[in-house]
Structure 1
């Protein structure tokens, strides 16, 4: 992919191109922004440009072809081994950096999800940042720079990636995927400025799940029985728990917008008939409280709370709110 023709992130592209043309590339960049926003794609295209024989992503020279095949000996990628980037991975990297580049003018190390370094690996990585090799560029990718050690952030040049515009999202999705109009609308509604390839891979599952989450929330008001415990167990086994929380927040938010007569803000705008049957006894205050509880549950799970119990507890609490047993 040609560096200058990547959709979106015009200011980032111009910044990096200017640094390259003026020979002002730092020893380390920190690319930060939403997951799926294109940080890795742009980083890879930048690597191609740096070492291309024509400096223009020609896709013909040996260097460009090796980068495209992920087979360039001087383009090193490190990603979490399980939950963390471990100290052994950083120690191996230090040994690699002690050697001269095999082929490239500029060796590049791409560290994905760098916020998943544990304390040991982060402290070890600091040694590289403190004495960076002259012939090496480090590119760190993260969704949240606040999760990194300040001593790391202070030694890199931060590059912020903004969410993609709706026009760029639509263009990328239409070019890369063959989606029916209704499926494209669903993916776009939940994109929030990023390309969510996982949603496209799991499209049929997630479309069905969205309806089931709506039924669960509706049953908490109408007393209609829905076996949410079995559904939650099934979703957790399939590693879909995070999607359940996202659908919960989207439906609760949409119900609030509907009651406030702001239908243009609905995420699930393709299912307007579901809002026409919204149980009348649910108040905006109750929905706000249920929404806040859902966000708190998501944070608790990220802090290693038991996922199944946390999700079951959330449903019980929302039911108590909707039934008036907990007064807002």
Structure 2
């Protein structure tokens, strides 16, 4: 990680598949006629208030954007790779690194948005300490979020990880004999609906409302202010050949500085996240390191 300091801004706060072939906003690195082109941006949670504010702010700068909604995390990166999207904004660096390594692709980060704490929720218990020994807790099944969820459970005193915990921990790393609970992995969008059947579940921010919960209901969470949390900063991603696209860079700037967009982020996250403006070079350095570590871990 670079010694340059990540600049934290004040507190913040991440359907059916409906898209066709995307029109690229501009040639890679070019200015283009952004007024006559549409920049397609893939997200998970189009209804979050920052997106309508972002569309308006971009339009004020002569840029037309279309927010394309996805029901789960597996779809936006392939759609970006195939050119059906110009950008996406739904993931942190660890998730992108795992996609690039697994798919043999080279999507890259061109701007930061925010870092969000990952929370443990329950409809049966008011604290992690109250969870009975031997009960089951659900975590997301995608590798990057699963590892982070297991670290949350370990910090809450519910499990012990054989390795001590890393960004590559999975269910096999759980020391069952030393852990208080059993852990099951589910697709991220299903963790909220699992709550009636489990003691608690680690639920990604995009799906907290689906469980009829608020962010304040979390009974445990990780610390987004940890300086080692850079790999979990959420980002705008695009194809490597478009990383210098002037229109895309302008959109990142608008997102990071427009007051209404930032207010939408705060509202969407329930005040739990922290907006960040991280130098793109730092994002690239972190992505390269996590990709290298991911390749080594996959053997």
**TM-score range with shorter-chain normalisation?**
under 0.3
Structure (1/2) with the larger strand percentage: 2
Higher relative contact order structure (alpha carbons within 8 Å, sequence separation ≥ 6): 2
When the two structures are superposed, what TM-score results if normalisation uses the length of structure 1? 0.26
Rg (Cα) greater in structure: 1
Structure (1/2) with the larger helix percentage: 1
